[in-house]
Structure 1
Amino acid sequence: MNTAPYGSWKSPISSDLIVSSSIRLGAIALDDGKVYWNEGRPTEGGRNVIMGYDDRSYIEITPKDKNVRSQVHEYGGGEYLIEDGRLYFSNFSDRGIYRQVGDNAPQRLTPENNCRYADFAWSRNYGRLICICEDHTYANSEGGEPTNSLVAISTTNGEDIQVLAAGADFYASPRLSPQGDRLAWLSWQHPNMPWDGTELWVGDLLETGSGILTIENPQLVAGGFAESIFQPEWSPDGKLYFVSDRTGWWNLYAVDLNELSNIQPLCNMAAEFGMPQWVFGMSTYGFAGDGKVICSYSQNGKSYLAKLDPQNLDRGLQIIDVPFTSISGLKCQGDHCAFHGGASTEASAIVLLDLTNGTWQKVRVASDLQIDPAYISAAQAIEFPTENGLTAYGLFYAPKNADFQGETHAKPPLLVKSHGGPTAATSSSLSLGIQYWTSRGFAVLDVNYGGSTGYGRAYRDRLKGKWGIVDVDDCANGAKFLVTQGLVDGDRLAISGGSAGGYTTLCALTFRDDFKAGASHYGICDLEALAKDTHKFESRYLDSLIGKYPEEKEIYIQRSPIHFTEKLSCAIAFFQGLEDRVVPPNQAEMMVEALQKKGLPVLYVPFEGEQHGFRKSENIKKALDSEFEFYAQIFQFTPADVLQ
């Protein structure tokens, strides 16, 4: 084994290999015994294509001139539905809904307008597609907000679009009962985000003699301003199931609609069966052919797969043994379920599970890159003390490379990663982006700071009114903890994050002196600008994270790094998409200019054609390599490779 300075190790995990061998695995669907998924391809400019799997062969469903992606809420999700062999999808470039049957070319269903669509349900009874509509007509022409509604679209005449429900600021999860005569859905109002409080409604779906589809007898089932409801679903026998955090944890419930007050908890646990609904179509449970509930849940940062018999709740959850620590996107049909499964040493994959015998297979893997395990650093879940006598969490990755070891008495540099959201969580699935660092001699700490999901509502609510404080404290305290444990070099600490994680990064570098360098990927530096110039979905998000604007404008100023550049004394790199609507590029550019005036080391890498997050392979590669080279200059080590 060679001895070399940490950071200078030669690694087989190059950025070229990462982008050439990696795809994004999106929403899963099951139809008539086949499994389908949305596949994002960085090598095709970030295009998304619906793929199918049948009899051990892959089928590319959508043609190359289509990009299956929704822009509702800007983040999208719920971009397609496949049922009875018919595919309906939202096309990114023109925002229209297309219908595709078999090998025939997709046909546009909806007219050209300023509307976006997502989260589809198919009504056999009425031949209509029920979905969320986000209308930007007046937002575009008069500067107002888009209007969101629940609509029904004729599948024979796409011009026939009827509004089923309107008036709420947001809608999601339209779900039809097995008989097709009842509809359940979620709605919520500003300033709530869906993880703060939503309402679950149900009503009778009826068509009048004139062909108008309406919802009659709408009734509020559960939820409210301070109760978050997630994923309503109908069981085969017509009961309505949902996930609620009314106990402080997202747990499963069922209700008999003949007696709405009789809401039955299915398994009270200090575990999360729900997730923050950043995108449409998220799913953590479904129903097998025998009526049993197949579900995934998170506990102490690890995912589990289980089944539950609604007819025999005394048996409780029965764990299904699968070797995955990260499970999401679960869908069920008949004797099979499919989900995203991953672990810290295994890339995320589409997994198809046979419920009759427990056997499973990986249908599609996010990366086909075969790497010797001797170069892979396994995640170690850690807990560490933070402010006010509390505990925070993270995943620690030690440097690992079969060919190298660090110099005697030296400690590795540490890269602290702050996830986006901020209401989100890091994943324990294999991240080649993290292994890129650890195989070169960096240690990495991926922090689930206060405000992260997966640890109950109280932990999630730690960030309320405290964004830019609690998250920064936890990232800094996580780094200090590793220093005191003798695992990393306290003089070579860096922090990096994207979006909200970029804000945490910039706050840590501006208001604290724990880190010597950092990198902001499309991060926020001006909270006022964000409050004034962001999209509808997040336009009131800061009310809970910071305070009401403009009433509490002073807090926005005090927590915006752009106003305190005089406190900066370290190096920062910025990576920014020039078409980003969530975090406009002018925020990064203002910060870069301020740093340049101070004469501090600064790197600014703008990307044409990129939005919030990078989808093109060449840009993903450049961002990764440029950040590494930046730290090499700051921490004064020589990379083993000349990076392009």
Structure 2
Amino acid sequence: MTDSSRKQAAPCGAWTSPITAAVVAAGSTPLSGVLLDGADLFWLAGRASEGGRTTLLRERDGRVDELTPAPFNARTRVHEYGGGAVLAADQRVWFSNFADNRIYRVDPDGSEPVAVSEGGALRWADFVLDHAHVRLVGVREDHSAGETYPVNTLCALGADGSQMVLDQGYDFYASPRISPDGKQLVWLCWNHPRMPWEGTELWLADIAADGSLANGRLIAGGDSEAIVQPEWSPGGMLYFVSDRSGWWNLHRYEHGVVYPVCPREAEFGLPQWVFGQSMYGFASSDEIVCAYIEGGVSQLARFDTRSGALTAIATPYQDIRDLRVSGDTIAFLGGAPTIAAEVVRMDLASGRREVLARSIEQLPDVGYLSVPQTVSYPSANGRTAHAFYYPPTNADHAPLPGELPPMMVIGHGGPTGMASSTLKLATQFWTSRGIAVLDVNYGGSTGFGRAYRDLLKEQWGVVDVEDCVAGAQYLADQGLVDRERLLIRGGSAGGLTTLCALAFHDVFKAGASYYGVSDLKGLDADSHKFESHYNEYLIAPKARADAVYAERSPIKHTDKLRRPMIFFQGLDDKVVPPPQSEVMVEALRKRQVPVAYLTLEGEGHGFRKADSIVRTLEAELVFYLRVFGIAVPSNLPGVEIENLG
């Protein structure tokens, strides 16, 4: 790494960097679905070169094999977001194939996958093996009704393809788990209008001799208690994660009573956007290995169920997901500020770690990587908001004497999600060029307890915006960034935050909207079953929705947009169709506000083509440089910006 005294001074934003738009577009391999079955370790990997196909890999005795060769695509669309597409048990694997929705089995002899379900209009997810009845038990989503919403049930799938509905009547089901003795089944369910992080019910039933359920009873949860990840210990004790204390903490169900087992102001669970998430598992009947989140950062630990002792396990990771445990072996997805997401196997006895797969094989030199600082700062109405601040970092360049850097504020999507500190090249693209980044965990984000998550209730477009605005002002007040060069960008839901911040506040000097939501009412018309009532939580119940939509939709307040903006829009976008962006662009154009508009053929809601990513990222950089009067490097393309003198 170059000595700081030898760095060349250059205007912030114009630093040369090896993290080019092409490097960002080349991207990373999406990794997910970590599983353990004895000594075998499995994970899912995205194949961008094969149309985004997801394939299942297995590591055994130092050898990695692909179990789902093309054209198989190990993915499910239950709840649309999927997850829980693979089961590994007894040296066999079952997976849902995206193209035909059929479940396939892979046998130990390595033969071709064999279909075990009919697929078609039936989608499956989150299945487990019922040894006693030689069948799978999972969530079935029936789309045979056509235009109406699908029907979700808890269903068993026999080895011969026969099906038995075990429970029905709720809008959604998740997490069926069979006790070690095979005699009981536990599961989660919930109804509209709740999302699963608002309230779920935990049910327990006996499995009868014929495989049906008997003596079903509600044992925990309700409208305002969100439960995730029920699991059985090897000794047959039922554990789960509940936020009844205000935090997603571990609990145990014993003799009809629920006991908190590890009270802590930390999150041992995640919102159920997808199936199959895991934040803990059992090393033995008396020891749990868990990951929990404090202040937006993950920690790995061992928990003794007898003594109540929680003991940290040292790792270099600050973001830990998909944790699986089998005796002294654990596996997980780990990431950190200088570590892109990777599949890790760890031996608890020795502490030895082995990396089996990396999402990015070749990382830039550490001298070009910005390590974020965790910041908490005051926001509106006495709130405290949280974010990761990335200072500009480049091995070869430093700001001009007395220059403060511009800063870009980013709000994550979801909006019930969270920003993590795991290395992202898309962030480093900006910081390595001299532009600071603030990645905001605004009110409503996961990782900070139930009360913080509920701050966004009926406040989307308000609280998230206020926290982004306050974060920008806070960093400027600290003398770390240039108050006159504050930027905000976002895509989809983050685009709404961006547009609202520019329409209703006067802090940011420019912004970028990637297929941003400008008309809230339009979201209702395009929503699928899982999210069809989400806006009732985020914005307003239906009785008041129209008035609040009009109040908060930027498309109704285009007269308030006075700052330069660049819009990026896929012409095939059905979620946020082009007219939403075009109305905003035309309003700025008419009022002589600097504006640029780039459309992309063949792109929908989210850009997937490498050349689209390169084109938009470079155009966004050029836009900021020209708005701030910084010379544009000759290797960057020209961008048409209307009304810019």
TM-score interval for Structure 1 and Structure 2 normalised by the shorter chain: over 0.9
Query: What are the ranges of 5 or more consecutive residues in structure 2 without an aligned counterpart?
Result: 1-6, 638-645
Deviations 1:57-103 (A, max 9, x none): 32222112122221112211111112222222222223222222243
Q: Distance in 1 between matches of 2:601 and 2:301?
A: 43
User: CA shift at 1:454, angstroms?
Assistant: 0.9
Equivalent residue in structure 2 for 1:608, among 594, 602, 606? 602
| 1:267 paired to 2:262 | yes
Equivalent residue number for residue 26 of structure 2: 20
| 1:549 paired to 2:542 | yes
Equivalent residue number for residue 233 of structure 1: 231
Q: Retained in 2: the 8 A contact 1:574–1:604?
A: yes
| 1:463 paired to 2:456 | yes
Q: Distance in 1 between matches of 2:104 and 2:459?
A: 43
Equivalent residue number for residue 316 of structure 2: 323
Equivalent residue in structure 1 for 2:193, among 191, 194, 199? 191
User: CA shift at 1:43, angstroms?
Assistant: 3.3
**Map of 1:181-580 to 2, 5 A cutoff?**
181-208=183-210, 213-256=211-254, 259-260=255-256, 262-289=257-284, 291-313=286-308, 316-576=309-569
Which structure 1 residue ranges, 4+ long, deviate > 6 Å from structure 2? none
In structure 2, give the amino acid aligned to 1:78: G
Equivalent residue in structure 1 for 2:130, among 90, 103, 123? 123
In structure 1, give the amino acid aligned to 2:248: W
User: CA shift at 1:532, angstroms?
Assistant: 2.6
In structure 2, give the amino acid aligned to 1:215: L
User: CA shift at 1:606, angstroms?
Assistant: 3.4
Q: Distance in 1 between matches of 2:84 and 2:106?
A: 17
Q: Using a 3 Å threshold, how does the CA distance of structure 1 residues 604 and 271 change in structure 2: closer, same or farther?
A: same
- Counting matched residue pairs gives 629
Q: Distance in 1 between matches of 2:570 and 2:106?
A: 32
Q: Using a 3 Å threshold, how does the CA distance of structure 1 residues 24 and 623 change in structure 2: closer, same or farther?
A: farther
Q: Distance in 2 between matches of 1:540 and 1:255?
A: 31
In structure 1, give the amino acid aligned to 2:369: I
1:327 alignment partner, SS class = strand
User: CA shift at 1:502, angstroms?
Assistant: 1.9
Q: Using a 3 Å threshold, how does the CA distance of structure 1 residues 245 and 358 change in structure 2: closer, same or farther?
A: same
Q: Retained in 2: the 8 A contact 1:46–1:617?
A: no
Q: Distance in 2 between matches of 1:253 and 1:124?
A: 27
1:11 alignment partner, SS class = coil
Equivalent residue number for residue 47 of structure 1: 53
Bigger Cα displacement from structure 2, 564-573 vs 383-392: 564-573
2:626 alignment partner, SS class = helix
| 1:151 paired to 2:155 | yes
User: CA shift at 1:580, angstroms?
Assistant: 5.6
| 1:65 paired to 2:71 | yes
- CA RMSD, 1 decimal: 2.0
Q: Distance in 2 between matches of 1:18 and 1:482?
A: 27
Q: Using a 3 Å threshold, how does the CA distance of structure 1 residues 590 and 177 change in structure 2: closer, same or farther?
A: farther
Bigger Cα displacement from structure 2, 615-624 vs 225-234: 615-624
Q: Distance in 2 between matches of 1:236 and 1:101?
A: 25
User: CA shift at 1:15, angstroms?
Assistant: 2.7
Equivalent residue number for residue 641 of structure 2: none
Identity of aligned residues (%): 47
1:518 alignment partner, SS class = strand
Equivalent residue in structure 2 for 1:110, among 114, 117, 127? 117
User: CA shift at 1:602, angstroms?
Assistant: 2.8
Q: Distance in 2 between matches of 1:295 and 1:520?
A: 38
TM-score where L is the length of structure 2: 0.93
Equivalent residue number for residue 171 of structure 1: 173
TM-score where L is the length of structure 1: 0.93
Q: Distance in 2 between matches of 1:508 and 1:496?
A: 10
Q: Distance in 2 between matches of 1:163 and 1:643?
A: 59
In structure 1, give the amino acid aligned to 2:522: A
Deviations 1:333-379 (A, max 9, x none): 12211111111122121111101222112111111123221111101
Q: Distance in 2 between matches of 1:19 and 1:53?
A: 28
In structure 2, give the amino acid aligned to 1:62: T
Q: Retained in 1: the 8 A contact 2:406–2:481?
A: yes
2:202 alignment partner, SS class = strand
User: CA shift at 1:396, angstroms?
Assistant: 0.3
Q: Retained in 2: the 8 A contact 1:421–1:499?
A: no
Query: What are the ranges of 5 or more consecutive residues in structure 1 without an aligned counterpart?
Result: none
Q: Retained in 2: the 8 A contact 1:535–1:581?
A: no
**Map of 1:84-99 to 2, 5 A cutoff?**
84-99=90-105
Q: Using a 3 Å threshold, how does the CA distance of structure 1 residues 194 and 147 change in structure 2: closer, same or farther?
A: same
Q: Using a 3 Å threshold, how does the CA distance of structure 1 residues 16 and 556 change in structure 2: closer, same or farther?
A: same
Equivalent residue number for residue 4 of structure 1: 10
Q: Distance in 2 between matches of 1:520 and 1:66?
A: 35
